[in-house]
Amino acid sequence: MEAKPANPKRRILLAKAAIWLIGLAPPVWLTTALFRRTLGINPVETIILVEGRWTLVFLLATLAVTPIRRLTGWNRIVQLRRLLGLFAFFHACVHFLSYVGIDHLFALSIIVEDVLERRYITAGFTALVLLVPLAVTSTKGWIRRLGKRWQRLHRLSYVAASLGVLHFYWKVKADTFWPLVAAVTLAGLFAVRLAYRRTPRGRFSGRTG
């Protein structure tokens, strides 16, 4: 950390620009590679896998904002949270639409059966559904309108992330390494939150999260 950032606003701006770049890169790269035929033998599978992984990365990044803020005291980092969360939702949508549209060609009967009967899809689909109200209420207007209730509502992001990790864990056939990495990360983030919850409030200025 610099001793005295010349302009703290600039740092947030740069971080936001980086999030936009990282957030848009996967679909841009996937589309380019798809047309250049470099996505491997089963591109649909690659697209779904890559987008699923980025959904989890952005979900965990969103949930990391508050713990990082608590641990470092960098309060302005909250300003990144909405963007991170919306990118998580964006990748979840691309992931889901790839499965529905290009994998199953909108064969609704198969998709409905999957959602109802296959527990890993039930978990993933529920996670996506939970993200919808969070994305909708992420605007300044909704934050103001909901007041205290907004925070309570947005705790659903932990439920969505847990279901997302479960979806990942149940999907793999034998190699549970990365699902477990995601689970441990999520548990760690949650633990930091709980630990700080017990300490006296009001230690930090700025908006609470």
Partner 1 sequence: MIIKVTKNSDIPSSEITSESVYINRRKFLGASAGIGAATFLGAGKAQAATQDDEPNTWEEITSYNNFYEFGTGKDDPSKYAPSRLVTDPWTVKVDGLCNNPADYHLEDFIKPSTIEDRTYRLRCVEAWSMVVPWRGFPLMDVINRADPTAAAKYVAFETLWDPVQMPERSWRPRIDWPYREGLRLDEARNPLSLLVTGLYGKDLPAQNGAPLRLAVPWKYGFKSIKSIVRITFTEDQPPTTWATQTPREYGFYSNVNPDVDHPRWSQKTEKRIDSSRLFGSRRIDTQFLNGYADEVAHLYEGMDLRKNF
Q: CB nearer to partner 1: give 35 or 200.
A: 35
Q: Which is nearer to partner 1, 7 or 109 (CB)?
A: 109
Taking the complex as a whole, how short is the minimal distance between the CB of residue 187 and partner 1, in angstroms? Answer: 20
Residues near partner 1, by CB under 8 A? 34-35, 37, 39-45, 102-105, 107, 110, 113-114, 117-121, 170-177
| Separation between Cα atoms, residue 113 and residue 195, nearest integer Å | 41
Query: Which structure tokens are listed for 116?
Result: 């109802």
Determine if residue 76 is left, alpha or beta; phi over 0 gives left, psi from -120 to 50 gives alpha, anything else beta: alpha
Sign of the alpha-carbon dihedral angle for 72, 75, 81, 83 = negative
Contacts of 181 (CB under 8 A, 6+ apart): none
CB of 52 to partner 1, least distance (A): 15
- Smallest distance from the beta carbon of 63 to partner 1, in angstroms? 26
User: In this complex, which beta carbon is closest to partner 1, that of residue 6 or of residue 105?
Assistant: 105
Q: Comparing C-alpha atoms, which of 85, 77, 63 is closest to residue 8? A: 77
Nearer to partner 1, 22 or 44 (CB): 44
3-state secondary structure of 172: coil
| CB of 30 vs partner 1, minimal distance in Å | 11
Q: Which is nearer to partner 1, 18 or 172 (CB)?
A: 172
